[in-house]
Amino acid sequence: MNRDATPVLGQLGQLGAQCNLCGSAMPAPGGDGTDVAALACPACASTPARRVMRRVFQALPAGLLAWRRHALEPGRHGVDPAWFGAPAPAGEATADFMAVELDPQGEAIGAALRRLTARGVLYVSGAARDASGSAQDLLQSMTTLLATQGLPCSVIAIDGADPGGAARLPAWLLLREAADAERWRQHLAAWPGAAPMAAGPVPDRFAPLRAELGYWQASGAECAFWWRDDDLIEDSAALRRLAALSQRHQAPVLMAVIPAEADAALTQATADAMPTLVYCQHGWAHVNHEAPGQPSSEFGPGRDPQAAEADLRQGAERLRALFGARFLPVMVPPWNTLAPALAARLPALGLHGLSQYLFQPRGAPLDGLVRVDAHLDIVDWSAGAGVRDPEMLVERLVSILQSSRAGRLGDPLGILTHHRVMADGSWRFVEQLLALTADYSCVRWLDPRTVFAAMPAGEGAPCAA
């Protein structure tokens, strides 16, 4: 016996299909070349996607919905707002139920998921598809999209079909809690004529980092990060992307500028528009002076000391003139390498900070020079400027934080980016890291001026040489 008032799919051909929103008879789909994916109800104008949504939600007991506060655009959906609790007030940060359409980059899904409460549910409507592919494929495509976007949750993929037509339209339910997802899946599967379904979790690539930050949070210790970006020469879309990201997450950036290539146009472009960027010196011209086969360096052991010092002095003077008070007298040597004899000369040039990379050897501390390195290079240099596996980056981050927790690393954890060459995947990692750390009140993204606060005062002017 069919408890459902809606005819099961197999009977549609004989009985003539009905719109499941208003009960009107639907025109025969596809008979005169009409687009089945756009078949509107002649009476209520419902779309196939709305009828599929209605069908999915008809299977659910009211109690699953009744307490949820929804954020639904009026008239756009196949659910009845009366099934839910009160609408979430406009402008409210969170809601228990939302519905969005699938977008290829998952941006709408990401924005909605971030608003979703812990017991919330997000309904995603897909576009019409052909008959090939299974519910398992739908699950796979959604979990891949969400994993790439760093949006862990539980997914129920539904291989839906228009009850008033012939279109096949997928839908997904996204829930935060795995136990909730399982309960919803059981209710959906128990419905006679239920569409084929598959369910599973989105792997959380950041889970080890969340666990580590959980320790910091519980211990009450402050977990300090800082951010350095190298090779700045001019204004660009990538620079604006970095500046916007920095500002949105209130994570200031130390920008290592190549002095020989910077000019007043850069100073102007960055002056007011990029308030969270601070500037420092990245060598002189980023030119390698070492012999073939030796590690690249602009200021390595192969360089004539007088010529090298003249370059460093010239660079510092130029950046002071260009950036004034926004210049922090810190040297980031190109390729992160600097001959120790030249490092010792930095304070005499008015440069009281030095930043290299974690694995560069550390000699004895030098008078008047504060060294704070970067620890995690986001870019994979083994393959052009490739994207590192996020899981590898997370593992690295966690091991550095563990060292720090064990007292083996005194400095804040330095993230290193290269805005000019980064691929989308690398940007995404940085964005996801910034968004994740915002969930932990123990995390602070330090201003570079704080990172190098131990530098001698009067840092703007060169010391007597």
Contacts to Zn ion by CB under 5 A: 19, 21-22, 24, 41, 43-44, 46, 230-231, 334
Length of the chain equals: 465
Helix (H/G/I), strand (E/B), else coil: 94 = coil
Query: Which region, left, alpha or beta, applies to residue 106 given φ > 0 means left and ψ of -120 to 50 means alpha?
Result: left
Q: Where are the beta strands (DSSP E) in 184-325?
A: 197-201, 223-232, 253-257, 277-281
Identify the H or E element spanning 271.
helix 264-271
Q: Where are the beta strands (DSSP E) in 239-392?
A: 253-257, 277-281, 327-331, 353-354, 370-371, 376-377, 379-380, 386-387
Min. distance of Cβ 452 from Zn ion in angstroms?
19
Min. distance of Cβ 83 from Zn ion in angstroms?
18
CA distance 332 to 230: 8
Residue 5: both structure tokens together: 């008032």
Q: Which is nearer to Zn ion, 83 or 440 (CB)?
A: 83
Q: Which is nearer to Zn ion, 112 or 308 (CB)?
A: 308
Min. distance of Cβ 142 from Zn ion in angstroms?
28
Min. distance of Cβ 436 from Zn ion in angstroms?
27
Min. distance of Cβ 298 from Zn ion in angstroms?
9
Q: Which is nearer to Zn ion, 231 or 377 (CB)?
A: 231
Q: Which is nearer to Zn ion, 46 or 337 (CB)?
A: 46
Q: Which is nearer to Zn ion, 172 or 284 (CB)?
A: 284
Min. distance of Cβ 277 from Zn ion in angstroms?
16
Task: Give the pairing type, strands 443-445 and 223-232.
Answer: parallel
Is the CB of residue 201 less than 8 Å from the CB of residue 152? yes
Q: Which is nearer to Zn ion, 156 or 351 (CB)?
A: 351
Q: Which is nearer to Zn ion, 233 or 435 (CB)?
A: 233
CA distance 436 to 144: 19
Identify the H or E element spanning 107.
helix 107-115
Phi, psi values for residue 329, rounded to 5°: -75, 70
Min. distance of Cβ 46 from Zn ion in angstroms?
5
CA distance 96 to 193: 27
